[in-house]
């Protein structure tokens, strides 16, 4: 595929200065070109242009083509507006004429491409780029239909001429055809919303776009990609009016911030009135009745109830409570509060709090919880009252002096020393090595560099005996 040269399309518009004529032309005889789709300059830039013309005169001639008794503008629309403004406001001079370079007559396609070429260095919004691509596409199609041999896909050729990707042109076209809400269409045309945000809106149906516009207005929020995604997540999860509030869920945004990660809802059923954790959830809706809080003079935390094996016939609620009690006791043994422990396992605090209140996590979470707590999965499942993991219950060879048992990595050694450690490096087994503890950090031995991975289990080594010492 040969490289597309826009000058082939411009044709007669690409002429040398010797083929043109410089002429002073009355402003009243110069007409703006109806094919020009570029917006006027912002007011601050327009004012700067007027001041420049007033101080220095018109430094660059207008580009025009003959049109009967008048002339049609090809390049210089903002300069013409500035001259007319100065004439209308009588700024000490009469601004009746403008210096113009007169081009030979040309057909409509050449004129359109000449306008685009004249604005090539202009800073453009994505909406203007789309209009430019659309105009070039129409020209290209007409010339191809007229028999000109221009191989390849039209979109690829136009993208090459505009020096953008074909994907970008496809997105711009999708935005133009997909946005139906007038407020968003206006914001897109004026460059007040990003391309990514506009594309997200364009993928919504007309009714959803309208609801989004109303929601943003009610929330007094600007149109941004993060807010569009928030609206989509809320509307798909909470697509009903709240019977208690008599309106769409008034707690939706608080629930979204607490329970949505990477666009997915975690640990939330979608309605506080149906939630078993409503009495303890920090983002519970105000319209839901909750149990009265405990009196202030009561202890902040009560001792966990005695843990016992689940009995046959025990109802589900009791099993949930027993699990929550075991989890809480094991977590308190690590010395970490709920926030610190949930951060360790990469879970939301609200999600972990729900587990301690009886919400059972998925089975895939149990090994992770057991490792972080330094307990066995059997203990969490309620199959044993002994929290010690199997690795720490391994029998010692006959005749060996048992110095200590394996300690979980969640507990730091009381004093510096050298240790044999087990490091979790995979799903099958631990990797055994030696590390030192300086009172604050784990160190690799013998280099004494900071360890990149903390041990899952550790066992203190006895002091190295002096050479010659006997048992």
Domain presence at residue 112: yes
Residue ending a domain, choose from 132, 158, 184: 158
Peptide bond into 11 cis (omega under 30): no
Give yes or no: residues 19 and 146 share one domain: yes
Average pLDDT over residues 391-412: 58
pLDDT confidence band for 71 (50 / 70 / 90): very high
pLDDT of residue 44: 86
Domain presence at residue 38: yes
Domain presence at residue 139: yes
pLDDT tens-digit series, residues 336-386: 888 888 888 877 787 888 888 877 777 667 878 888 888 888 888 787 888
Give yes or no: residues 231 and 269 share one domain: yes
Structural domain for 440, as ranges: 397-460
Gap between the Cα atoms of 44 and 89, Å rounded: 18
User: Mean pLDDT lowest for which of 87-101, 154-168, 297-311, 425-439?
Assistant: 297-311
DSSP letter assigned to residue 9: H
Give yes or no: residues 126 and 22 share one domain: yes
Give yes or no: residues 79 and 184 share one domain: no
To the nearest 5 percent, what fractions of the chain are helix, strand and coil? Answer: 40, 15, 45
Buried b (16+ CB within 10 A) or exposed e, 147-177: eeeeeeebbebbbbbbebeeebbebbbebbe
CB–CB of 326/382 below 8 Å? Answer: yes
Which helix H or strand E contains 356, and what residues bound it?
Answer: helix 349-356
Average pLDDT over residues 134-145: 76
pLDDT of residue 314: 46
pLDDT of residue 396: 45
Residue ending a domain, choose from 352, 381, 410: 381
Residue 83: which of 43, 38, 28, 20 has the closest Cα?
28
Give yes or no: residues 127 and 48 share one domain: yes
Give yes or no: residues 12 and 106 share one domain: yes
Tokens encoding 423? 């490091």
pLDDT of residue 415: 82
pLDDT of residue 310: 46
Average pLDDT over residues 158-176: 80
Domain presence at residue 301: no
> 3-state class of 223 per DSSP?
coil
pLDDT confidence band for 118 (50 / 70 / 90): low
pTM: 0.42
Give yes or no: residues 10 and 75 share one domain: yes
Residue 401 has pLDDT above 50, yes or no: no
**Domain of 29: which CATH number?**
3.90.1530.10
Tokens encoding 99? 């210096």
Give yes or no: residues 361 and 408 share one domain: no
Gap between the Cα atoms of 163 and 169, Å rounded: 11
Gap between the Cα atoms of 68 and 419, Å rounded: 97
pLDDT tens-digit series, residues 217-276: 888 888 888 888 888 888 877 766 777 777 778 778 888 887 777 777 777 777 877 777
Gap between the Cα atoms of 35 and 414, Å rounded: 81
pLDDT tens-digit series, residues 388-400: 766 555 554 444 4
Bridge partners for 70 per DSSP: 67
Give yes or no: residues 144 and 183 share one domain: no
Residue ending a domain, choose from 248, 274, 300: 274
CB atoms within 10 A of CB 346: 8
247-248 vs 241-242, strand pairing mode: antiparallel
pLDDT of residue 457: 84
How many structural domains are present in the chain?
4
Gap between the Cα atoms of 325 and 455, Å rounded: 27
Would you call 41 exposed, middle or buried from its count of C-beta atoms within 10 A (0-12, 13-18, 19+)?
Answer: middle
> 3-state class of 260 per DSSP?
strand
pLDDT, mean over the chain: 77
**Domain of 375: which CATH number?**
1.10.260.40
Domain presence at residue 296: no
Q: Using CA of residue 279, residue 283, residue 287, residue 292, what is the dihedral sign?
A: positive
Give yes or no: residues 371 and 406 share one domain: no
Domain presence at residue 264: yes
Residue 440 has pLDDT above 90, yes or no: no
Which of the pair, 18 or 290, is modelled with greater confidence?
290
Domain presence at residue 302: no
Bridge partners for 423 per DSSP: 431
pLDDT tens-digit series, residues 295-346: 555 555 555 555 554 444 445 667 778 888 888 888 888 888 888 888 888 7
pLDDT of residue 374: 83
Average pLDDT over residues 102-125: 75
Gap between the Cα atoms of 465 and 253, Å rounded: 64
97-102 vs 241-242, strand pairing mode: unpaired
pLDDT of residue 153: 75
pLDDT confidence band for 291 (50 / 70 / 90): low
pLDDT of residue 9: 40
Give yes or no: residues 44 and 109 share one domain: yes
CB atoms within 10 A of CB 190: 11
Of the segments 19-28, 57-66, 113-122, 358-367, which one has the largest average pLDDT value?
A: 57-66
pLDDT of residue 431: 81
pLDDT of residue 30: 92
Give yes or no: residues 145 and 99 share one domain: yes
Domain presence at residue 363: yes
């Amino acid at each position: 595929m040969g490289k597309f040269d826009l000058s082939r399309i411009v044709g007669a518009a690409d002429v040398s200065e010797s083929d043109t004529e410089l002429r002073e032309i009355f402003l009243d005889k110069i007409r703006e070109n109806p094919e020009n789709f570029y917006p006027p300059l912002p007011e601050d830039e327009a004012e700067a242009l007027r001041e420049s013309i007033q101080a220095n005169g018109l430094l660059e001639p207008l580009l025009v083509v003959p049109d009967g008794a008048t002339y049609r503008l090809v390049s210089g629309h903002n300069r013409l507006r500035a001259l007319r403004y100065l004439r209308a406001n009588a700024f000490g001079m009469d601004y009746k004429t403008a210096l113009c370079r007169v081009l030979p007559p040309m057909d409509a396609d050449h004129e359109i491409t000449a306008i685009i070429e004249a604005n090539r260095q202009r800073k453009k919004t994505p909406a203007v780029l789309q209009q430019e691509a659309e105009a070039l596409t129409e020209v290209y199609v007409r010339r191809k239909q007229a028999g000109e041999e221009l191989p390849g896909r039209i979109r690829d050729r136009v993208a090459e001429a505009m020096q953008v990707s074909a994907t970008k042109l496809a997105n711009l076209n999708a935005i133009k055809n997909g946005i139906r809400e007038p407020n968003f269409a206006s914001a897109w045309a004026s460059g007040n919303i990003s391309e990514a945000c506009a594309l997200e809106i364009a993928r919504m149906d007309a009714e959803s776009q309208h609801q989004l516009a109303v929601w943003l207005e009610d929330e007094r929020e600007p149109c941004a990609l993060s807010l569009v995604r928030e609206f989509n997540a809320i509307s798909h999860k909470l697509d009903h009016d709240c019977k208690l509030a008599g309106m769409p869920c008034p707690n939706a945004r608080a629930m979204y911030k607490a329970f949505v990660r990477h666009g997915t809802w975690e640990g939330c059923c979608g309605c506080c009135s149906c939630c078993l954790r409503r009495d303890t959830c920090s983002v519970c809706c105000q319209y839901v009745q909750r149990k009265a809080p405990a009196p202030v003079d009561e202890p902040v935390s009560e001792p966990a109830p005695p843990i016992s094996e689940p009995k046959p016939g025990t109802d589900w609620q009791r099993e949930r409570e027993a699990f929550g009690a075991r989890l809480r006791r094991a977590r308190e043994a690590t010395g970490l509060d709920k926030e610190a422990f949930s951060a360790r396992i990469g879970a939301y605090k609200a999600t972990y709090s729900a587990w301690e209140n009886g919400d059972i996590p998925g089975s895939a979470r149990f090994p992770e919880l057991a490792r972080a707590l330094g307990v066995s999965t059997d203990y969490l499942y309620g199959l044993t009252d002994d929290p010690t993991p199997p690795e720490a219950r391994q029998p010692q060879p006959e005749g060996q002096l048992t110095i200590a048992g394996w300690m979980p990595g969640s507990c730091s050694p009381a004093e510096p020393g050298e240790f044999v450690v087990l490091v979790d490096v995979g799903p099958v087994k631990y990797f055994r090595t030696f590390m030192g503890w300086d009172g604050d950090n784990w160190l690799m031995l013998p280099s004494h560099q900071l360890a990149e991975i903390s041990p899952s289990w550790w066992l203190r080594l006895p002091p190295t005996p002096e050479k010659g010492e006997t048992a």
